[in-house]
Amino acid sequence: MWGTTLLLTLHAISSLAQLTLPTPPFLPPNISSGAQSSTGGYPNPKWSSLLGTLLYFYDEQRSGTLPSTNRVPWRNDSLILEGRDVGIDLTGGYYDAGDFSKDTFPLSFVLMSLCWGATDYGKGYDLANQTTYLDDTLRWGLDWLIKAHPNETTLVVMVASSDEENTYWGGDRSIPSPRPVYTITNNLPGTDAAAGASAAFAACSGLYAGKGFNNNSYTPPAQLRNDSYAATLLTHAEQLYSFAVNSTNGRKTYQTSVPQVAAAYSSSGYGDELTMAALLLAWTTGSSTLYKDAEDFYTKYELAKSNRVFNWDSKTPGIAVLFAQVNQASSSLGGNFTVWRDRAENYFDDIINKKGPGYLTEDGLLFFDGDSDDASLNPALNTAMLLERFVPMASNAEKKVAYQDFAKQQVDYILGKNSMSVPYIVGVNPNSPKNPHSAMASGGDDVGTIDTDPAVEAYILYGAVVGGPDKRGRYFDIRSDWPQTEVALDYNAPMLTLAAMRVIGDTKDPYFTSLQAGAYDKVKPKGKPCDSVFKEGCEGPHLGKKATIALAIVITIVGLVIVGLSIWYILLLVRSRSGKVG
Ligand SMILES: *[C@@H]1O[C@H](CO)[C@@H](O)[C@H](O)[C@H]1NC(C)=O
Ligand SMILES: *[C@@H]1O[C@H](CO)[C@@H](O)[C@H](O)[C@H]1NC(C)=O
Ligand SMILES: *[C@@H]1O[C@H](CO)[C@@H](O)[C@H](O)[C@H]1NC(C)=O
Ligand SMILES: *[C@@H]1O[C@H](CO)[C@@H](O)[C@H](O)[C@H]1NC(C)=O
Ligand SMILES: *[C@@H]1O[C@H](CO)[C@@H](O)[C@H](O)[C@H]1NC(C)=O
Ligand SMILES: *[C@@H]1O[C@H](CO)[C@@H](O)[C@H](O)[C@H]1NC(C)=O
Ligand SMILES: *[C@@H]1O[C@H](CO)[C@@H](O)[C@H](O)[C@H]1NC(C)=O
Ligand SMILES: *[C@@H]1O[C@H](CO)[C@@H](O)[C@H](O)[C@H]1NC(C)=O
C-alpha cells in the first residue's frame, strides 16, 4: 500500500518534469490503412502519422522501469537494477538495436541528429501533434546519458548485451544481468565518445533553450522550451568537451582504451566528433573561441579528406552543412558562410554528378561501397536528410531543384518505390518487412532457430526502419539476416527529420499508400542473400536486371553469328567437295 503510494508519487513527479502526453495516446495506425490514400488536408495526415510511428519505435526500444504512460503493450520493465553492481545507476535508456546492448557512441549521434532535426523542423512536430512525444523520446535518452556521465572525467561507453561469447536472444524479462559496464576515464580516454556525447548535449541544449538558426521558417517547437533543462544539458556538454580535448592521457579513439567496444562500434577517428562538439557548443553559447576551435580541428584532422558518408562514426558531410547553417545565422562567430556552402556543395555535386563517393544502383538506391554493404538504407537516408536541409542555402536555383529531386527520389525509394515494392519501415503498409531482426519483437528464445521459432514474429515492431536491400535491390526478409533486417536507433534518426520536413512541406501522401497487399510476394527473391550472414546467394552471376538482359542479347547475337558462320562454312565445304567430286 505504502509502496504503491510512493510509486504513484514518483510517477507524478517524473511526469511533471516533462510535457504532458495526450490522452488517448497517439498509436501507430493499423497496417491496412497504410495502403489507403488520405483525404488530404494540411498537414498531410499520412505524413503526420508516419512521424508519430517513427517516434513510437523509440518507445519500443526502452530499457528500465517503464512509465505509466508506456504505449507499447508487449513491453515490460527490464534491467531495473542496471549498474548497481558498479555503483552507477544505469537503468533506463535505450536498447541500441536488435539485441539488448546500450551503446553510448551511436546513441549520442542519434540524440544529436534528432535535436538538430527538431531545431530546424520543430514546426513539423508541432503540426503533427508529436512534440510531447519528441520531448519524451529525447529525455529518455538524455536522462540516461546524464547518468552515464557521473562525474567530469567518467563516461560509460557500453553496457554489453551479455558476455562476449554468449549473446542472449529472447524476451525482455530474462535478460542475463548484471552485465559488463565499460567506461572511459582520464587514464583510459575516448576522445570520440566524449566529444560525441558533448555534441549531443550541446545540440539538445540549444533545442531546449529554443535557439533556432534565426530563420522564421526554421524553428524549434516553442512548447519544448525549458531553460533549466537546457542549462543542465549545457553543463554536461562543456564538461565532456574539456574531457575530450584535455584528457591527461592524451587523445585516443575509445576502442584503444576499451577494446571490448570494437566489435560493435569501432570509431575511425575523433577529429570529426571534436569539430562537431566545438561547433555545436559555439552555436549554443555564441562563443567565437569555440568556433575557432571547430575550424582548427577541421583543418588539423584533415576532415575534408574523409568526406564519405554521414553516420554514427563519420560526421564530416554533416559538419560542412552545419558550419554553413551556423554562419548563415550568425556573422559574429567569425566564420565565412560562402566557404562552407561551397564545401557542402562540392560534396553534394560529386554525388549528384556521379563523381563519387556514392553511386546509384540500378534499383535507384544511393550506394557507398563498404559503408552500404550492411544496412544499405542508412547512408542514403542520411544523405537525403542533409541534401533537403541544405536546399534553402544552395547557391542557385538549379542546384536547389537538383538536390531536392535527388533527395525525394531516395525517400520514395525507402518508402516503397523500389523493385521489391517494400516500404522499409515495419508496420506501415501490408508490404512492410515482417521479420525484423529484433530479439524482443521476435518472441523466440533460441538463436539457433531464430528464423523458424516462432514462425510468425510475435510482435509488430511498428515504425522500425530496417537495414535494407542488397546492392541488387533484393530484400529477403529473413530474421537472422541482420545486414538486411536489423533495426537500430540510428536507422530511424534521419527518417524522422525527413518526415518532419514533409509534414511541413508536402501535401501529397508518402509513396507507400499506393502499394497494395501482395505486391512484395509477387517479386520476393528466391534463394538466399549474399552478405555477412549468408554466403549461399553469392554463387552465380551478380548482374543487375538490365545487365542480364544486355548480356543475354550479346550471347544471342554471338550465338547467331557463330551458327550463321558455321552453316556458311559447311555449305562452302559441301560445295567445294561436291566441286571436287564433280
Ligand atoms: C524543465 O525541466 C526540468 C528538468 O527535467 C523539470 O524539473 C521542470 O519541471 C521542467 N519545467 C517545466 C516548466 O516543464
Ligand atoms: C484500419 O484502418 C482503416 C482506416 O482507418 C479502417 O477503415 C479499418 O477498419 C481498420 N482496420 C482494422 C482491422 O482495424
Ligand atoms: C492535432 O491536434 C489538434 C487539436 O486537438 C487537432 O485539431 C488536429 O487535427 C491534430 N492534428 C493531427 C495531425 O493529428
Ligand atoms: C567518477 O565516477 C566513477 C564511477 O562512479 C568513480 O569510480 C570515480 O571515483 C569518480 N571520480 C571522481 C573524481 O569522483
Ligand atoms: C512481456 O511480458 C509478457 C507477459 O509475461 C510476455 O508475454 C511478453 O512476451 C513480454 N515481452 C517481451 C518483449 O518479452
Ligand atoms: C584545456 O587546457 C588548457 C590548459 O590548461 C586550458 O587553457 C583550456 O581552456 C582547456 N580546454 C578546455 C576545452 O577545457
Ligand atoms: C568569404 O569567402 C569567399 C570565398 O569563398 C570570399 O570571396 C569572401 O571575400 C569571403 N568573405 C569574407 C567576409 O571574408
Ligand atoms: C529562411 O528559410 C527560407 C525557407 O526555406 C529560405 O527561403 C530563406 O532563404 C532562409 N533565410 C535565411 C536568412 O536563411
Count CA atoms within 13 Å of residue 471 on its CB side.
16
pLDDT digits (tens, 9 = 90+) for 51-68: 999 999 999 999 999 999
Looking at this protein, which amino acid is placed at residue 249? N
Distance 230 CA to ligand 1 centre (A): 10
Same domain? 178 vs 193: yes
Instruction: Find cell 553534394 and name the residue.
Output: 348
Count CA atoms within 13 Å of residue 15 on its CB side.
14
pLDDT digits (tens, 9 = 90+) for 535-544: 887 865 555 5
Name the strand (E) or helix (H) holding 113.
helix 104-127
| Least confident span in 8-17, 264-273, 394-403, 437-446 | 8-17
Is the CB of 208 within 6 Å of ligand 1? no
Q: What angle do CA 378, 240, 154 make, to 5 degrees?
A: 100
Same domain? 454 vs 576: no
CATH at residue 224: 1.50.10.10
Please give the pLDDT value at position 18.
Answer: 87
Same domain? 457 vs 575: no
Q: Whose CA is nearest to atom 5 of ligand 6?
A: 246
pLDDT digits (tens, 9 = 90+) for 516-531: 999 999 999 999 999 9
Helix (H, G, I), strand (E, B) or coil at 306: helix
Please give the pLDDT value at position 213.
Answer: 87
Q: Which of 120, 214, 215, 400 to mutate to test the pocket of ligand 8 (most atoms within 8 A of CB)?
A: 215
Domain C-terminal end among 518, 537, 556:
537
Please give the pLDDT value at position 214.
Answer: 74
Same domain? 256 vs 107: yes
Domain count, the chain: 2
**Helices 316-329 and 377-390, interaxial angle, to 10°?**
20
Going by pLDDT thresholds of 50, 70 and 90, the confidence category of residue 19 is very high
Distance CA 102, CA 1 (A): 34
Same domain? 522 vs 559: no
pLDDT digits (tens, 9 = 90+) for 381-427: 999 999 999 999 999 999 999 999 999 999 999 999 999 999 999 99
Same domain? 504 vs 561: no
Q: Which residues of 479-507 are buried (b: 16+ CB within 10 A; e: fewer)?
A: bebbbbbbbbbbbbbbbbbbbbbbbbbbe
Same domain? 456 vs 571: no
Going by pLDDT thresholds of 50, 70 and 90, the confidence category of residue 566 is confident
Q: Cell digits for 283? A: 552555436
Is the CB of 48 within 6 Å of ligand 3? yes
Same domain? 511 vs 553: no
Residue 567 reports pLDDT greater than 80: no
Residue 466 reports pLDDT greater than 50: yes
Q: Whose CA is nearest to atom 4 of ligand 6?
A: 246
Q: Which of 10, 16, 135, 229 to mutate to test the pocket of ligand 1 (most atoms within 8 A of CB)?
A: 229
How many other C-beta atoms are found inside a 10 Å radius of the C-beta of residue 188?
16
Is the CB of 228 within 6 Å of ligand 1? yes
Same domain? 550 vs 401: no
Same domain? 149 vs 73: yes
Catalytic residue among 486, 506, 509, 531: 486
Strand 181-185 relative to strand 359-360, pairing: unpaired
Q: Whose CA is nearest to atom 13 of ligand 3?
A: 128
Is the CB of 337 within 6 Å of ligand 7? no
Is the CB of 484 within 6 Å of ligand 3? no
Q: Which residues pair with 184 in a beta bridge?
A: 155
Catalytic residue among 96, 477, 490, 531: 477
Is the CB of 249 within 6 Å of ligand 7? no
Please give the pLDDT value at position 577.
Answer: 55
Mean pLDDT of the chain: 92
Same domain? 450 vs 580: no
Distance 13 CA to ligand 4 centre (A): 28
Active site residue 486: yes
Going by pLDDT thresholds of 50, 70 and 90, the confidence category of residue 550 is low
Q: Which of 129, 130, 506, 507 to mutate to test the pocket of ligand 3 (most atoms within 8 A of CB)?
A: 129
Q: Which residues pair with 78 in a beta bridge?
A: 64
- Which structural domain, as residue segments, surrounds residue 250? 2-537
Q: Contact 34/432 with Cβ under 8 angstroms?
A: yes
Q: Whose CA is nearest to atom 7 of ligand 1?
A: 17
Q: Contact 461/60 with Cβ under 8 angstroms?
A: yes
Same domain? 531 vs 549: no
Active site residue 126: no
Is the CB of 392 within 6 Å of ligand 8? yes
State how far the alpha carbon of 532 is from the alpha carbons of 277, 280, 484, in Å: 33, 36, 10
